Structure 1
Amino acid sequence: MSSTLGSDSMMDGKSAPKVETKFYTIDEETENQIQDEAFEVFKDSLKEEFTEAESLAVARKIDYHILWIICTLYGINYVDKAALGWAVLFTFKADLGLKGTDYSWVSSIFYFGYLGAQYPASYLLQRYPVGKVICAATFLWSIIMLCHMACTNYAGILVCRFLLGVFEAPVSGGFVLFTSLFYTRKEQVTRTMYWGSMQGIFYVIFSFVSYGLGHATHSKLNEWRLVYLVLGLVSLLVAAGWYIFVPDTPMKARFLNEREKAIAVKRVSGNMMGVKNTEWKWDQMIECFVDPKTWFMVCFIIFSMIPNGGLTNFGTLVLSDIVHNRLTSIAVSVGSSFFSSGQMLIYSVFAMKYNNLRTIGMSAPLLLAIAGLSAVYATESHGAKWGRVFAYWMINSYAVTWPFALSMIGSNWAGHTKRATMSMVLLIFFAVGNIIGPFCFTNADAPKYTKALATNLGCFCACFVVAVLFRFYLIWENKRRDKLHGKSSLESISEDERMEAILNGMKDMTDGKNTEFRFVL
């Protein structure tokens, strides 16, 4: 009998394997070691025969029912943060009495809230259904977005921005965990690129919305308050949509019948990471902190997020210096989002055909960002206006690296607590980088922000070096494991060994302890 388990080459990312499975019997001792919520469904699936066509059909069905709402939520999550960059182009500073570095603190305090909430967010995502945590967080941050309209002073906006950071803390890590519940390692790359590209697409949409609201001069509300009103209401609608349409796990998906649920569980079991285990394991948390992979990712994230923190909130001001009109800069800024989102969609096509593109996706886009930033920096006092605008658009290529970095966590950190811890660590340093970033843009350096651009250029170069070194480290580690254990791919091991690797994942075994595990690049 045969069945198919989809994966990104569970072992080394070389090809999507077809697993020929006999009617496998799991002994009682092994069953007692497994606490995964999906185990009973997985065990029953061993008695069934599934085809590759059925596996692909289930993947398409999952896409049809939940991918659209995942993409929508991630997009609106991004523009809720970007709203500050639009607000500052209106009467935001004057209305709230912001002076000196006040705006930098308004920008950065979001990430203090984000940083402080990471441990409780990580615990909640591990302990409770990921989908429910994401939904609750979305509802709460929607309310806070609406509360921005009531702000009349510096203290009020600081409180709102801090709470916005607190309630958005579970989202990015939650998306990584949620995607790994429904998709194989190979599929995770493309799906992460899909929802990651929504950052740019939604930025384009709501840039034009903000541009239109900027002309609403007869409204009783200021233009920037209208921006927060629209985004807050849209976020509430998306939270309601998530609650209605999105299941917590494949086993609870109403749109799948019992056979399809078994196929869905069996597909992701091939990731060797299990499906869902709610026990928090301190040894896995410690293992995460001593894993070299963790610190490669930490370096990459902090070097990429320092520029992000500044450009997200000051980028429109830099651009307004080039085009000499603040309102027009909103419309012109959409080019950078087209540039990044277009690249993400192109990379997603390649990811469907080729494996081991993650670290390439973390490094190659940075070359365009470095080229664009160098051009803007070198032509600060001269050069064609639209040539400088195009160079500015190129800078946003760095945003392409973020979905690839997130997909690394879902693919290369096994063990539910270890993966949740890694998400927490990554997002802590995401916050740290974004806290630092705005302070690179000083009033003394305005409006060209020469020193800030030079700092960002250095960060992008460091980021590129880290990504390349990370790829070579993973290659070395895979070869080291092959040498120690004599196994290089799924095709070279027996059916019993293959099933043992899958059951190790069901046992919530980490990538460090599962000798069958190989890292995707």
Structure 2
Amino acid sequence: MTGGKDNNANVVSRDINSDSKESNYEVSVNPQLSTILSLNDEVNNMDIKDMDEAYKFLDAETEALELDPAYEKKLVRKIDFHIMTIICGLMAVQMMDKTTNSYAVLMGMRKDLKMTSEEYSWVGSSFYLGYLVFEYPANLLLQKMPLSKTLGLAIVLWGVVLMCHAACKTAATFLLCRTILGIFEGFMNPSYIIMTSQWYRKEEQFMRTCLWYGFQGLGTLVGASIAYGLQVHRAGYHAFASWKCFYIITGAITVFLGVVSALHVPDVPVKAWFLNKKDKMYAIERSKSNQQGFGNRKFKKYQLVEAFTDPITYCIFIYAMSYAIPNGGLNNFGSILLNKDFGFSSQQSSLMNMPGGGIDIIFPPAVALINHFWLKDFKIISMVIINLLCVVGTCLLAFTDHRGSKLTGYYTLYISTTNMAGVASIVSSNVAGHTKKITASTVFLVGYCVGNMIGPQTFRESQAPGYAGAKTAMLVSYCAGAVALFVIYWIYFKRNKDRAAERKQAEEVIPADRIAFADLTDLQNPEFVYDL
């Protein structure tokens, strides 16, 4: 690298996505070498507006920094304490809030609102309708506005709307509240994905994503405990229904955590109040290895186009939808299955969801640990195996009569949380270019929304209490998800192999350091290596 910050004043007429292979350079070595030389030249002359946010904080001291592994380890622990604890807490209340309906219906919510079975199916679907419609605007706002403040405001408003559920008198007003609630959820998962990619190295992201996704199990445990307590200790109260208290309690918890998040979490690592100057320099240097930086607020059309021409985007969509069809159904009908199909009482059904919450907390981090220490580069293959285990679990749930085997199948489905975390980490670590990442994240969550809208509709009242159609839909979904994950693995494996061969041919060329902060996409950057 020959140019520092002051060399950015000249704006080149070509964008970074211009045909670098058709550059004016005449290099008689090989096409890959020519491409890298041309790319370096374009990066060194880019306008600073095209660069990643991290580049604005580079200086001579930062560029000469050599990381001390012991100090870096302490820094990661500090980041985990200040950032990961907040994300885990937010994920827990997010799951607790989404499953309130499954418990509220056991407390008489449907009866009080005179809600038909078809209207109750739309309680789950309407939430994801709002999520779907506002997903892309939410992602654009997260790119243009300060990340932490935008997320914090969305969480506070989420909690307020959740408390408003208690004021509903009819099914129509309740459905409206669910739709508005879905709008604010559109800010949450994309924010967690961006934050994970900002703060952690690629090799650290799968573990952290599994951790915060797994903490939705804590939300299940807390929600089930609150629901059980209200059912037992407010059984004789009729002036103010227990299900209304449930929404108010969970909403108040959410508002509190939203305020904490907005005040505590910085928008980018270099603005973190809990990091000293050396820590911030380390954060910048660590981000270089990701070849992604902290993000860029400029919308880049070519990255949008690349996202929609990359087959990975469609595989991610298919997997998200295949996961969400069972998820959407069980979030709203899980307690009903336990009550009507398995034969547990209403109070027992609330408690029987708790083991699933424990599985969510333990299993995803356990799989991430196994992959980190013993099965490196087999993360996606392990996800395929997990989806096949969910196929087995669905067969137990759908095709056996013994309550024990059906319950085993029901709990087995909770391990699919690991794969949702894994695909979120794929978006975080394997999709580069901030606009492309935002787009891929949106497509991922659109698939999640579509599946969650379909899921509750597969539970037909005419098929109660066994709901054979819904269980069949789950089986097909898990099979499709396994295929999508394997295709993702094959594409990434082939790309890594091809790029390794190309880099070997051009080994005498070392790209400029600035390439890490040029906001290049994973397909543009010849130094990018996909995490398998």
Aligned residues: 486
Q: Is the 8 A contact 1:126 1:278 kept in 2?
A: yes
Write out aligned runs for 1:49-448 (5 A): 49-215=66-232, 216-219=234-237, 220-320=239-339, 321-353=341-373, 354-379=375-400, 382-383=401-402, 385-448=403-466
Q: Which amino acid aligns with 1:478?
A: N
RMSD value over aligned CA atoms? 1.9
Note the C-alpha offset of 1:211: 0.7
- Structure 1 Cα separation of the partners of residues 127 and 93 of structure 2: 16
Q: Summarize deviations over 1:393-438 as a string: whole Å, max 9, x none.
A: 1122222211111000011111000000111111111111111111
> Aligned pair in 2 of structure 1 residues 208, 100: CA closer, same or farther (>3 Å)?
closer
The residue identity in structure 1 corresponding to 2:384 is S
Contact 1:361–1:400 (CA<8 Å) still a contact in 2? no
Once the two structures are TM-superposed, the CA of residue 244 in structure 1 deviates from its matched residue by 2.4
- The SS at the match of 1:158 is helix
Residues 1:493 and 1:221: Cα distance change in structure 2 (over 3 Å): farther
Distance 1:268 1:318 in 2: 46
Query: d(CA) in 1 for partners of 2:57 and 2:282?
Result: 9
Paired residue type of 2:522: D
- Cα separation, 1, equivalents of 2:139 and 2:467: 36
1: distance between equivalents of 2:124 and 2:82? 36
Task: Report how far residue 134 of structure 1 moved.
Answer: 1.2
Match of 1:22 in 2: none
Q: Secondary structure at the match of 1:88?
A: helix
Runs of 5+ consecutive residues of structure 2 not aligned to the other structure = 1-41
- Compute the displacement of 1:356 (Å): 2.6
Cα distance, 1:154 vs structure 2: 1.2
For structure 1, which runs of at least 5 residues remain unmatched after alignment?
1-25
> After alignment, is 263-272 or 38-47 more displaced?
38-47
AA aligned to 1:61 is K
AA aligned to 1:36 is: D
Corresponding letter in the other structure for 1:179: T
CA distance in 1, matches of 2:65, 2:302: 36
| Deviation (angstroms), 1:205 | 2.2
1:451 aligns with 2:469: yes
Which secondary structure state, in structure 1, belongs to the residue aligned with residue 369 of structure 2?
helix
Provide the rounded CA distance (Å) in 2 between the counterparts of 1:148 and 1:37: 40
Hey, what does 1:506 align to over in structure 2? 517
What percent identity do the matched residue pairs reach? 31
Structure-2 residue corresponding to 1:461: 479
- CA spacing shift, 1:458–1:28, aligned 2, 3 Å: closer
Query: Larger deviation: 111-120 or 97-106?
Result: 97-106
Change (3 A) 1:439 1:32: closer
Which moves more between the two structures, 78-87 or 343-352? 343-352
Measured in 2, the distance between the counterparts of 1:87 and 1:80 equals 11
Task: For residue 33 of structure 1, report the CA deviation from its aligned partner.
Answer: 7.3
My pick for the range that moved more, 53-62 or 334-343, is: 334-343
Report the residue type matching 1:423 in the other structure: S
**Partner deviation per Cα, 1:139-193 (whole Å, 9 max, x = no partner):** 1101000100000101110110000000111101111011111111111111111
CA contact 2:134–2:183 (8 Å) conserved in 1? yes
Q: For 2:53, what is the secondary structure of its paired residue?
A: coil
Alignment-mate amino acid for residue 376 of structure 1: L
Deviation at 1:493, TM superposition (A): 5.3
User: Which secondary structure state, in structure 2, belongs to the residue aligned with residue 229 of structure 1?
Assistant: helix
Q: Tell me the secondary structure at the aligned position of residue 106 of structure 2.
A: coil
* TM-score with structure 1 setting the length: 0.89
1:218 CA drift (Å): 4.2
- Give the aligned partner of residue 8 of structure 1: none
Deviation at 1:31, TM superposition (A): 7.2
Maintained 8 Å contact 1:272/1:503: no
Name the CA distance, whole Å, in 1 between partners of 2:363 and 2:347: 27
Distance 2:76 2:420 in 1: 24
CA distance in 2, matches of 1:32, 1:393: 51
2:52 to 12, 30, 36: 36
2:24 equivalent in structure 1: none
Letter in 1 for 2:434: H
Contact map agreement 1:307 1:456 (CA 8 A) in 2: yes
1-structure distance, mates of 2:381, 2:154: 32
Match of 2:496 in 1: 478
- Contact map agreement 1:33 1:507 (CA 8 A) in 2: no
CA distance in 2 between counterparts of 1:362 and 1:289 reads: 24
Does structure 2 retain, via aligned residues, the 8 Å contact 1:131–1:178? no
Is the 8 Å Cα contact of residues 396 and 409 (structure 2) preserved in structure 1? yes
Question: Which whole-Å CA distance do the structure 2 matches of 1:48 and 1:411 have between them?
Answer: 24
Q: Deviations over 1:376-398 (max 9, x none)?
A: 2112xx32x33322221112222
Give the direction of change, closer, same or farther, for the CA distance of 1:493–1:183 in structure 2 (3 Å limit): farther
Q: In structure 2, what residue type is equivalent to 1:368?
A: L
Q: Deviation of residue 289 (structure 1)?
A: 0.3
